[in-house]
Amino acid sequence: MDFQPSEQQVLVRDMARSFAEAELMPRATKLDRQGFIDPDIFEKMGELGLWGLTIPEDHGGAGMGNLELAIVLEEINRACASTGVTLSVHNSLLGSPIMQFGTQAQKDRWLPELASGKRIGAYCLTEPNAGSDAAAIATSAKLEGDEWVLNGTKIFVTNGAFAGLFVVYARTDTSVSKAKGISAFLVPKETPGLSIGKAEKKCGIRASSTTEVILENARIPKDALLGPLNAGFKVAMYTLDGGRIGIASQALGIGVAALEASIKYSREREQFGKPIGDFQAIQWKLADMSCQLEASRMLIHKAAWLRDRKENCTQAAAQAKLTASRAANYCADECLQIHGGAGYTDHFHVERLFRDARITEIYEGVSDVQRIVIARGLVPA
């Protein structure tokens, strides 16, 4: 067992950290307030190869693994969680299923554009009546000649406003159980009948795009099917394993930012004639935050390592996501408490961390769903 990062991992970590500190940290509060990410940030991410981090080199990507992606996502989210989730969804929820389930023609068609950032990806699973019960989706896909016709509405679609390619899950067989009659499709933005609905106004990650995606007789070619017919639920669950590692990495980055802000403030703020960091009450908060974050990092790296080895990582990904998201919220809460009244204002970025952390216990599967996944691995049915 080797805890020493490889030379490649150190290089990609340092690259991501330099980009985050130079381009994201100074602008994160501005992005949060304006409600969108400036296009030049996306361009710079493309120049650094971040959009294609896990896409093979023969399709224009960097050819790295999930562990490298987790390392990068920690650094990006340490600076700006809105940018972090945008990058995570693109790599883990769109690039990953195409690489795993796509035909050679689909890989040749879409991966180069995803790797360059020419097209940014989005994942369309959740519906008004299908959240944690993902198999309850009502969006339909019917084959008419050589085309699939899609109808339905997806909600909470990250990257929806500017995505160029969507993976859409739709019901293709109503005669079987819910999970067995779902298929996955690759749907480009220019598809007639696809439109972007309302944009959500959110508590946190405000600069990221979260929208409805509406499908009204949207017609796509027969070969837009991703993976086997009626096996889309398996595609979705495989994809979410990677997505959960990505969100766990996001949570870790937010938590690290909270710890760093707490340490800095505890050295600067004086009460009763000395820095508050000299008081045991503050020191113990910092110690607990550090332990929870380090434990989260180990779980994330283990889950990513398993996925890179093509081993089952479902339980490990759920453990990482559950632990890291709880740690992020704990650290953000304690960080705000350490800052006191000042932390509750917008004079510090602490309140943004507090808001951003909350979503990590909700998307890619709420914490209770993670507990269900973990328990099923411990006590199989």
Sorted by where each begins, the domain ranges of the chain are 7-119, 122-231, 233-378
Return the residue matching tokens 């009244």.
Answer: 341
At residue 296 the predicted structure's pLDDT band, cuts being 50, 70 and 90, is very high
Structure tokens at 202: 């959110």
The residue from 212, 334, 361, 364 that is catalytic is 364
CATH architecture of the region 233-378: Up-down Bundle (1.20)
Quote the percentage of the chain above a pLDDT of 90: 97
Instruction: Give residue 260's pLDDT.
Output: 98
Tell the burial category of 196 from Cβ atoms under 10 Å away from its Cβ (0-12, 13-18, 19+): middle
At residue 380 the predicted structure's pLDDT band, cuts being 50, 70 and 90, is confident
Return phi, psi of residue 165, to 5°: -150, 130
Mean pLDDT along residues 359-364: 97
Mean pLDDT of all residues belonging to the chain: 97
Instruction: Give residue 323's pLDDT.
Output: 98
Q: 381 pLDDT exceeds 90?
A: no
Tell the burial category of 377 from Cβ atoms under 10 Å away from its Cβ (0-12, 13-18, 19+): middle
Quote the percentage of the chain above a pLDDT of 70: 100
Topology of the domain covering 122-231: Butyryl-CoA Dehydrogenase, subunit A; domain 2 (2.40.110)
At residue 364 the predicted structure's pLDDT band, cuts being 50, 70 and 90, is very high
Instruction: Give residue 2's pLDDT.
Output: 85
At residue 134 the predicted structure's pLDDT band, cuts being 50, 70 and 90, is very high
Instruction: Give residue 177's pLDDT.
Output: 82
At residue 176 the predicted structure's pLDDT band, cuts being 50, 70 and 90, is confident
- Name, in order, each residue with C-beta under 8 angstroms of 252's C-beta and a sequence gap of 6 or more: 74, 77, 293, 296, 297, 300, 324, 327, 328
| CATH of the domain spanning 7-119 | 1.10.540.10
Q: 283 pLDDT exceeds 90?
A: yes
Residue 118's alpha-carbon distances to 43, 164, 354, in angstroms, are: 9, 8, 33
At residue 1 the predicted structure's pLDDT band, cuts being 50, 70 and 90, is confident
Instruction: Give residue 369's pLDDT.
Output: 97
Q: Does residue 57 carry a catalytic annotation?
A: no
Residues in the chain: 381
Instruction: Give residue 178's pLDDT.
Output: 85
Task: For 86-110, write each residue's pLDDT tens digit.
Answer: 999 999 999 999 999 999 999 999 9
Return phi, psi of residue 367, to 5°: -60, -35
Instruction: Give residue 268's pLDDT.
Output: 97
Instruction: Give residue 293's pLDDT.
Output: 98
Structure tokens at 251: 């949570």
